[in-house]
Amino acid sequence: MWNKYLIRVSGFLTNLSLHMKILGITVGFIVLFGLGVTFEMRNIVYNTMLEELDKQGNTISMNLAARSADLVLTNNVFELHQLLRHTIENTESVRYAFIVNSNNEVVVHTFLRGFPTDLKDVHYPYVSTQVQKALLDVESNIIHDFAAPIIDGKAGFVRIGFDESAVYESINIVTRTIMQTTLAMILVGILAAYILAYVISRPITNLVDATKRFSSGDYDHRVDVTTNDDVGKLGNAFNEMGEILEVKEVENMSLLLELEKKEQVRKTLLKKVITAQELERKRISRELHDETGQLLSSLMLHLRHIKDSGTSEEFDTNIENMRQVISKTINEVKRLSQQLRPSVLDDMGLISAIERVIIDYREVLGIDIDLVVHGETSEQRITSEIEIAVYRILQEALTNIYKYAKAENVSVILNFRQKSLQMIIEDDGVGFDSQTVLNSKASEKQLGIYGMKERAELLDGTYEIESNVGVGTTIYVTIPIIYEGKEMS
């Protein structure tokens, strides 16, 4: 049961705002402090007033005993009664007074409704050397009854009763004063707590609002920092985080745009690859039908002629024609095979394949193409993936030079380094604005550039192009070298 109650109280306190928590703590502290002070002051005042009451009772009873000695000896009842009456009138806390003789007989008293007979025996037998005190419960009131001897008890005793009404009145006055002070402290504390809560919670509220704006993507927002305390440091740290997030947001947007652009180019490249694949299949099919198919059909005709030939001269002529047709067929098949994948690349390696493609392009383009190789080694051969990538990049670059550059001279440089292969392709053509082309929408020229870049990056390499209008173009391709028999890390 108590656990459930504590859980409910804890949940209630947790849901309170910072203002209410500060106000609650302040008011609660003041109230507890006021109650503690009130309780302690009541005890102090009560004990002090009781001591004062005892001193007053001793003093008044002894004084009254001294003053009534002669009157008792002369049996002057009237003066004794006057003395007791004046004592009651002049002392607010005195409730009654009476005098008894040495035989414990009441001589005079101040009771208006008759003397209570059981009261005179409270201290009996009396002690004649000192003032005696007894506590009596009279009508739910505590009475301090004092008995002072008259002439050492030989002439009798003075009895005087003090009630605690004055003590409780003083305690009530002190209590009211403390409660009023506590109430004033509560009001001042509430005001101070409100100001404190405002000073503390205002920056925190601003931070919460700024966090919500951050969560919605508004990284330009900043909080106002007016102090150098912990909250101010938190605000400064929050603003620094905002600046970092703003920079990161710009970087992320740039990366996102670049990714979207790459994705668009990739889709276009894929579409182009599929289209090129279908066109290549169509071309191969057409050439097989038009060239190889016709040659094979011609071969069939020559075989029929051989069958129908009657003389040896006709037979020799048909055999020669068949040889020529077969030779032409073999050449066509080799040409198609080389276009699909150059056999020299597999048989002789990268350098020989590059030399062959440069010879072919030199004859087709009619321009001067130079090849320079640095650091070549024939001890180990690089993997076929790197060879075909470098070969296809060079093919694409020479094709772009043929289509767009209008160049007269081309240089191809291969640098075999310890851990990488660098290929530099440079021409003296018309050039172009590389940044404009790369940042524009996908075009055929751009797709060719991205195709070369994709081939290099698939092998953890880099592709860079430098070009300006009128100064030609330079392509830098760097690919890590992996030798056959070793896996890429």
The DSSP line for 403-453 is: III--SEEEEEEEE-SSEEEEEEEE-S----HHHHHHSS--HHHHHHHHHH
CA distances for 11 relative to 1, 5, 28, 386, angstroms: 15, 10, 18, 67
Per-residue pLDDT tens digits for 62-99:
999 999 999 988 889 999 999 999 998 888 889 899 99
Confidence of residue 470 (pLDDT cuts 50, 70, 90): confident
pLDDT in tens, 208-240: 787 787 777 776 777 777 777 777 777 788 788
Predicted confidence (pLDDT) per residue in 131-182, tens digit = 888 888 877 788 999 999 998 888 899 999 998 887 888 888 888 888 888 8
CA distance 21 to 14: 9
Beta strands 368-374 and 409-416 are: parallel
- The Cα–Cα gap between 92 and 164 comes to 11
Same CATH fold assignment for domains 12-182 and 347-480? no
Fold of 347-480: Heat Shock Protein 90 (3.30.565)
Residue 168, both tokens: 């409780």
Query: What residue spans define the domains of the chain?
Result: 12-182, 347-480
Q: Of 29-33, 281-285, 408-412, 461-465, where does mean pLDDT reach its minimum?
A: 281-285
User: Confidence band (pLDDT; 50, 70, 90) for 276?
Assistant: low
* R_g over Cα of the chain: 60
Tokens of 255: 């990366």
CA atoms of 163 and 53, how far apart (whole Å) = 9
* C-alpha torsion sign, points 128, 131, 135, 141: positive
- Residues 477, 489: Cα–Cα separation, whole Å: 20
488 pLDDT band, cuts 50/70/90, is very low
Q: Give CA–CA dist 95/31, Å, rounded.
A: 38
Class of domain 12-182: alpha beta
Q: Which of 369, 441, 382 is closest to 417 using CA atoms?
A: 382
Q: Angle, to 10 degrees, between the axis of helix 165-215 and the axis of helix 18-73?
A: 170
Cα separation, 186 vs 184, in Å, equals 5
Q: Is the pLDDT of residue 340 over 90?
A: no
- Phi then psi for residue 276, to 5 deg, are -65, -35
